[in-house]
Each structure stands twice: as C-alpha cells, then as structure tokens.
A = this chain, B = another copy of it.
Amino acid sequence: MTSIDATQWRDLDPGARMLMGPGPSDVPARVLQAMSSPTVGHLDPYFLSVMEETQTLLRQMFQTENRLTIPVSGTGSAGMEACFVNLVEPGDTVLVAVNGVFGTRMCDIVNRLGAHLVRVDAPWGRAIDAADVEQAARSHDVKLVAVVHAETSTGVLQPLDELAAIARDAGALFLVDTVTSLGGVEVAVDRWGVDAVYSGTQKCLSCPPGLAPVSLGDRALAALDARRSPVVSWYLDMSMVREYWGAERKYHHTAPVNMIYALREALRLVAEEGLRARFARHLLNHRALVAGVEAMGLAMLVPESERLVTLNTIRIPEGAADVATRRALLSRYGIEIGGGLGSLAGAVWRVGIMGASSTERHVLTFLAALETVLREQGVAIAGNGLEAADAVYAAARVD
C-alpha cells in the first residue's frame, strides 16, 4: 500500500486578495461562514427548507415566476451545458450570436450535440446587431436563439428585448447567458421574454464558484417534454433534476449541500441590499473606474453605450507589459485582474467590479496600484486617475 507522508502539507493559508478579475469576486465573511455550517443530508427536512428558500430567492434575482429555477450542481459552464443539452436534439437548428469566448463556447456545445448551427458574428468588443440576427432567423427554421447577455471576455452588455422579440417571431426559444450580469445589472427574465437562462455564483453574487443558477420557463419545459430523444446527459437531465427540486423530492444525485448554504446566504445579502441599490452601486463604481482609467490616459475597449458595468476591458497601453503588470498587481497588492482571452490576449486587461468587489475601496486601490506599476515601467500617465474617480463619487454623494 502506498505510504502517505502526512507532514508535508501545511494548513491552508491563501493570504489576502482583492479579486477584480473576471471572477471569482471577493466572498463576504457571512457567505463563507454559512458555507461552513454543518453538512446535513440532501433529503433532510431542514435542507429541503433551505432548497425552497434558495429557489424563492433565485426567482426574485431572475425576476421570474418560473417554477423550475434552481442551482445546477456545477459551475457556470455546467449551466450553459444544462440548458443546451435539455433543449437541443440532434438535427435541431440553433442560432447562436457570437461576439466573444462564451458565444464561441455555445457553438462548440451545439456542434457536439449534433445540431445544425447558424452562427451570427459581431466584432469582439461590440454588441450584436439585432438586424443580423433577424435576417438569419428568417432564413432558417430555428428552434432556439442563444446569446450572451454579458460577455466576460470583452466587457460588452447585449440588449435583449429586441432579440427576444425576434426569437419569438421566429417561433424559437430564447436562451440567455447571464453569468456576469446576474446580481450586478438587471436581468428581467419574465418581462423580457427569456425562455431559458443560466448564470454562475462567483461573479456578481459573490458566492464561491461551484453552482449554476438556471431557470426554465413554460415554453422551454414544453420543448423538454416534447423531446424525441433522451437528454444525452444523465447528470444534467432536467426531467429528473426537477423531481428532486420539486414536490416529489425524488433522489437524483446528492446535492452540493454546503455550496447551497453559501448561495442562500449570498442571495440573502442581495435581498438585504435590494436589487435597485445593488445595480446603482455597480454602475457608480464602473463610472468611477472608467473616469480614473481615462484620466490616466488609458482607453476602454468597448464604446460607452455598449459597456458592461461589471466587467471592464481596458486596452493595454503602449509600453506596458501585460503579464508583468498583472503579476505585480497580484504579488505586491494582492489585486487579481484578468488578461485578455482569445483574440484579445495581450491586448486588454479585464477588471471585474462585481458583487463584494464593487466598492470605492477596490476602485481606488486598483487605480493607485495600476498607476504605480505603469509608472515604473516608463508608461506615461496623462492625468490624475484618483482625482477623476473621486469626482464621480463626490458627485454621487451630493445627489
């Protein structure tokens, strides 16, 4: 039998961070504490009440009455996969609008499922033109239209109401990725006519990664019920998962009990703050960040009218070293930001101000640290970023 040396591993001690990358965001102490409550069984009456409360809170978060609103037992990507595998069958035609990594991932999943992919592209860093989607939807018999609300790879916020109408006119389901928007900007599932939606916990909800909130409306459930072939994934098959989360309480798989404790507490924190106040906070910190960054002479990737407030893509300035800058921010200040993905690698930094990481302290510390590091690299700093950011906060305090 292999012998195990027990002495070589030390106590966990991650050290202090300010998580300002594309997620995870900083997790509040109350969420960590709730997560470490004693584990109980997944069919324990107490846990069933926790599940009910979590579902109620999630419905309010998605602004939906959808009965099937649950956290899927995997990270946000499992939420994406759950929606596609349940709603798409081999031979179906699926329209995906792509303007970044996560739309590209949707296409990958559609191909794996043996469906026919109709892909509508927009430049990375720009919103998708609804007219392009409309034209494609008219030329094919589309079962589902899928789009990313908040592209984590580019920092673009996609308006959804027009796309929802196009999908409905085409007789198609409308599926939306809200991984980086839910809890930071409005997501109004019922009002906008979204049929299926998923998110993650580690972005604007500031809960550790590990769960994917998903909500399916009546039209989506009808498509699930009308399938000709079984859902290819047993683990994510919503026709069974819903009987565990529903009144039947039928065992499917063992729920990640402590992660659901954490999500419930994260959602309770949102409830205490209120959605309107939370969205206003995210907007204010975004405006201060942009004011500071632009005062320093740096440029944002995304045009102002299409910017996502929770994830900010800053063009890497002339003379700045991508990796060395990020490494210095992390090692000297504990600040994590993200690099660019795909075609934007080396071209942008991704700065998340999401959930508990969306505070004046985070914005100020980031601007100060970035200025210091860039100055050391010989990058010219145009003006005073801190002063510009503070002016935004000062104006808000007067209001």
User: CA of A361 to CA of B23 in the docked complex: distance in angstroms?
Assistant: 43
With a cutoff of 8 Å between Cβ atoms, the chain B residues found around residue A341 in the complex are 251
Q: Mark A46-76, 1 if CB is under 8 A from B, else 0.
A: 1100100100010110010000000001111
Min CB gap A266→B, angstroms: 12
Min CB gap A1→B, angstroms: 6
With a cutoff of 8 Å between Cβ atoms, the chain B residues found around residue A75 in the complex are 73, 253-256
A254 near B76: Cβ-Cβ < 8 Å: yes
B6 near A255: Cβ-Cβ < 8 Å: no
A231-257 at interface with B (beta carbon < 8 Å): 231-235, 251-257
With a cutoff of 8 Å between Cβ atoms, the chain B residues found around residue A265 in the complex are 12
Stretch at the interface among A30-38, A142-150, A216-224, A383-391: A30-38
B4 near A17: Cβ-Cβ < 8 Å: no
The answer, among B13, B32, B81, B111, for a CB contact under 8 Å with A233, is B81
Residue A159 lies at the interface, judged by CB distance under 8 Å to chain B: no
When A24-B42, A41-B24, A230-B112 are in contact, do A4 and B274 touch as well, CB less than 8 Å? yes
Residue A94 lies at the interface, judged by CB distance under 8 Å to chain B: no
User: CA of A111 to CA of B14 in the docked complex: distance in angstroms?
Assistant: 44
Residue A264 lies at the interface, judged by CB distance under 8 Å to chain B: yes
The answer, among B3, B35, B57, B108, for a CB contact under 8 Å with A36, is B35
Copies in the complex: 2
Stretch at the interface among A130-138, A162-170, A202-210, A314-322: A202-210
Residue A116 lies at the interface, judged by CB distance under 8 Å to chain B: no
Residue A275 lies at the interface, judged by CB distance under 8 Å to chain B: yes
B272 near A233: Cβ-Cβ < 8 Å: no
Min CB gap A248→B, angstroms: 14
B73 near A1: Cβ-Cβ < 8 Å: no
User: CA of A257 to CA of B211 in the docked complex: distance in angstroms?
Assistant: 12
A64-108 at interface with B (beta carbon < 8 Å): 73-78, 80-81, 85, 105, 108
Instruction: Give the 3 A-B residue pairs with the shortest CB-CB distance, closest first.
Output: A210-B256, A77-B253, A36-B36
Min CB gap A198→B, angstroms: 12
Residue A5 lies at the interface, judged by CB distance under 8 Å to chain B: yes
A38 near B14: Cβ-Cβ < 8 Å: yes
Min CB gap A49→B, angstroms: 10
A259-283 at interface with B (beta carbon < 8 Å): 259, 261-262, 264-265, 268, 270-272, 274-276
When A74-B78, A258-B210 are in contact, do A19 and B2 touch as well, CB less than 8 Å? no
